């Protein structure tokens, strides 16, 4: 079992899909593969966003000493690492989406009279951004 937040996007899947895109010879087939791939990537983003949302309390630091001690005890460690891993996964997904979009458009470009629509994959605004920044003064 992997620690929470450590499962990364299967890079081999992205590489294989890029290779497969170059083998497609029909525009309709290409559009179907594009739609399925982008739906899979959106599902990945949605799953990661759900996990990040569950971990967002670690980004809110209390203002009093007792609260800070409780916060450190509760959140520093595995949950913080999971949060950071999920943020890294979103960055990896963004890179994969850009690479795949480029490969999809290149595949359409080599087919005669082929125009495809690449569905967008969206990330919730502000996801992964700390909800509160509280300076700790002694």
Domain boundaries, the chain: 11-110
Quote the CA–CA distance of 72 and 107 in Å, as a whole number: 50
Predicted confidence (pLDDT) per residue in 8-66, tens digit: 567 788 889 999 998 999 999 999 999 999 999 999 888 888 888 887 776 777 788 88
Quote the CA–CA distance of 114 and 72 in Å, as a whole number: 56
Of 79, 76, 99, the residue nearest 6 (C-alpha): 79
Going by pLDDT thresholds of 50, 70 and 90, the confidence category of residue 77 is low
Q: Is 136 left (phi over 0), alpha (psi -120 to 50) or beta?
A: beta
CA angle in degrees (0–180, nearest 5) for 38-39-40: 90
pLDDT at 28 (0 to 100): 94
What is the chain's mean pLDDT, rounded?
A: 78
The pTM of the full predicted model, rounded to 2 decimals, is: 0.68
Predicted confidence (pLDDT) per residue in 85-111, tens digit: 888 888 888 888 888 999 999 999 999
Q: Is residue 5 pLDDT above 50, yes or no?
A: no
Classify the C-alpha dihedral 59-56-93-4 as positive or negative: positive
Distances (CA, A) of 33 to 28, 87, 102, 121: 9, 27, 14, 15
pLDDT at 131 (0 to 100): 42
Q: Is residue 119 pLDDT above 70, yes or no?
A: yes
Going by pLDDT thresholds of 50, 70 and 90, the confidence category of residue 128 is low
- DSSP at 77: T
Q: Is residue 134 pLDDT above 50, yes or no?
A: no
Contacts of 73 (CB under 8 A, 6+ apart): none
């Amino acid at each position: 079992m992997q620690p929470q937040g450590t499962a990364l996007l299967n890079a081999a899947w992205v590489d294989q899909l890029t290779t497969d895109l170059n083998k497609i010879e029909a525009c309709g087939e290409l559009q179907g593969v594009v739609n399925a791939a982008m739906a899979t990537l959106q599902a990945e983003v949605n799953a990661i966003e759900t996990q990040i949302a569950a971990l967002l309390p670690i980004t809110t630091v209390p203002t009093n000493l007792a609260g800070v001690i409780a916060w450190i005890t509760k959140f520093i460690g595995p949950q913080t690492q999971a949060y950071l891993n999920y943020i890294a996964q979103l960055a990896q997904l963004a890179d994969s989406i850009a690479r795949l979009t480029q490969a999809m458009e290149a595949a359409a470009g080599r087919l005669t009279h082929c125009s495809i629509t690449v569905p967008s994959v969206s990330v919730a605004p502000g996801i992964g951004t700390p909800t509160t920044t509280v300076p700790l003064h002694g």
